[in-house]
């Protein structure tokens, strides 16, 4: 095991990693921007180093600053968390060149799966079903029109280097395609420095189902069940649950086996996620691979009893997976709600500011809150608006839903506005209670009829 790990991230995931390291007896180094000087992760780590100004490009995305911090503190490994540099293959390669372990897959794997077009081709070779669509990069609007006519509308334009909902456009007709193609390309260029586009048939209605995988350096790969992430707004997940109510036992087994086959096709090491879309008939199609720990990883931890962050640290340090696929069992039901500093009543506008009084749910079995908030903390306006995750585990789905309702009722964040009330209204909707929803439900059915009761 490593003696010291640098966490190249901020917020609740940095706190989560620090706690896992401490339980393993590993010293930690936090990095922070000037805006995060008072952040909780800087207080919990054994050491903390400022790596630049508030702007992420000058701090958390600054490869040289992060690596320099690791070198001067003699950190043996870097955990990137999610976002920021977590799926930057050049950063992973530079860590290797500096004899610093990157806690994640190899740089070549990140590179192969980071380009969604390459990923599609690799999966097809591994006999993993992919969504019908283009082959290779689409070179022009005319080519896009030809392909879309061939597979039929509606289609989805996607950035090859995409992620986080950027560079994606839903196209309903040929009249819309030219404008959407241009705008998606421009957004992709600005976000990723790469404007390569590809096109896929829209699977509608669909469930967004992802499978958690874990691999070691010795070729062993297992899956830890699936998460249903179908409740989304603007292609961003809002709530996740496991197991999925929409999958039969036979389909669950097939999905897990397919995910493991996909991971083995790229010699996957460490924690990762294979994302699928499932149509009404139960057929599923590969969408993408996330080569990092996911925001929603606690859902899987709750139903399997396996600490995924500790597992990441162990396999990255050279340990063999201590369990086989037969050892993995799914017990009960878990749900996660993302709590964001935003105002749902005003189109989910960010709501940074100072937290004057904070009360987070606690107590009772099967409740967990991952957060980096505290009373008196000022949430900066420069980063993602997610400030906490509420995770519950119940004997069954209804038990978990009732626990989540109780937990959301208890949240108090005087000084800022959050989406806690929105989440509460969402999980008490009859469709969500019944598990009858798809990826379009939140945006097309729930939001048009939702009326906020207050500012908090």
Spatial separation of the C-alpha atoms in residues 281 and 284, rounded to whole Å: 9
Q: Is the peptide bond before 205 cis (omega within 30 degrees of 0)?
A: yes
Residues in the chain: 456
Q: Is the peptide bond before 154 cis (omega within 30 degrees of 0)?
A: yes
| CA distances, 280 to each of 157, 184, 264, 330, 437 (Å) | 22, 28, 28, 24, 11
For 359, the 3-state DSSP assignment is: strand
Residue 212: closest CA among 113, 153, 103, 296: 296
Q: How many CB atoms lie within 10 A of CB 318?
A: 12
* 275 neighbors 287 (Cβ within 8 angstroms): yes
Task: Name 391's bridge partners.
Answer: 336, 368
- CA 168 to chain CA centroid, nearest Å: 17
Active site residues: 292
Burial class for 378, CB neighbours closer than 10 Å (0-12, 13-18, 19+): middle
| CA distances, 369 to each of 15, 363, 397 (Å) | 12, 11, 19
Spatial separation of the C-alpha atoms in residues 322 and 220, rounded to whole Å: 10
| CA distances, 360 to each of 105, 313, 375, 397, 433 (Å) | 34, 29, 11, 22, 24
| CA distances, 138 to each of 24, 116, 135, 142, 338 (Å) | 48, 13, 8, 9, 35
What b/e string do you get for 32-54 counting C-beta neighbours within 10 Å, with b at 16 or more? Answer: bbebbeebbbbebbebbbbbbee
């Amino acid at each position: 095991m490593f003696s010291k790990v640098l966490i190249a991230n901020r917020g609740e995931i940095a706190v989560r990693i620090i706690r896992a390291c401490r339980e393993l007896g590993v010293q930690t180094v936090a990095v922070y921007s000037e805006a995060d000087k008072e952040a909780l992760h800087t207080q919990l780590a054994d050491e903390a180093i400022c790596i630049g100004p508030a702007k992420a490009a000058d701090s958390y995305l600054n490869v040289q600053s992060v690596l320099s911090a690791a070198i001067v503190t003699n950190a043996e490994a870097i955990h990137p968390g999610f976002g920021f540099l977590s799926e930057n293959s050049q950063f992973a390669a530079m860590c290797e060149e500096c004899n610093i372990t990157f806690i994640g897959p190899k740089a070549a794997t990140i590179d192969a799966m980071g380009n969604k077009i390459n990923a599609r081709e690799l999966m097809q070779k591994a006999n993993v079903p992919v969504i019908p669509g283009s082959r290779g990069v689409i070179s022009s609007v005319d080519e896009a029109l030809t392909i879309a006519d061939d597979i039929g509308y509606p289609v989805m334009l996607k950035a090859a280097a995409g992620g986080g909902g950027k560079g994606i456009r839903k196209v309903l007709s040929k009249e819309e395609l030219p404008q959407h193609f241009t705008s998606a390309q421009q957004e992709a260029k600005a976000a990723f420095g790469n404007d390569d586009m590809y096109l896929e048939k829209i699977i509608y209605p669909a469930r967004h189902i992802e499978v958690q995988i874990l691999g070691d350096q010795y070729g062993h790969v297992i899956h830890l069940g699936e998460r249903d992430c179908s409740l989304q707004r603007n292609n961003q997940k809002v709530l996740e649950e496991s197991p999925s109510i929409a999958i039969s036992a036979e389909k669950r087994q097939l999905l897990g086996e397919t995910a493991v086959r996909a991971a083995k096709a790229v010699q996957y090491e460490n924690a990762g996620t294979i994302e699928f879309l499932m149509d009404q008939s139960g057929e599923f199609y590969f969408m993408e691979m996330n080569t990092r720990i996911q925001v929603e990883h606690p859902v899987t931890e709750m139903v399997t009893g396996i600490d995924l962050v500790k597992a990441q640290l162990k396999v990255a340090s050279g340990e063999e997976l201590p369990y086989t696929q037969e050892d993995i069992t799914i017990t009960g039901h878990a749900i996660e709600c993302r709590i964001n500093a935003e105002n749902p009543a005003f189109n989910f506008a960010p709501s940074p500011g100072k937290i004057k009084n904070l009360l987070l749910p606690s107590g009772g079995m099967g409740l967990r809150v991952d957060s980096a908030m505290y009373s008196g903390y000022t949430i900066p306006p420069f980063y993602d608006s997610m400030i906490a995750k509420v995770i519950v585990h119940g004997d069954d789905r209804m038990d978990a839903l009732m626990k989540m309702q109780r937990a959301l009722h208890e949240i108090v964040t005087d000084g800022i506005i959050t989406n806690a009330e929105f989440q509460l209204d969402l999980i008490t909707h009859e469709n969500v209670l019944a598990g009858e929803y798809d990826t379009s439900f939140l945006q097309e059915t729930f939001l048009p009829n939702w009326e906020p009761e207050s500012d908090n």
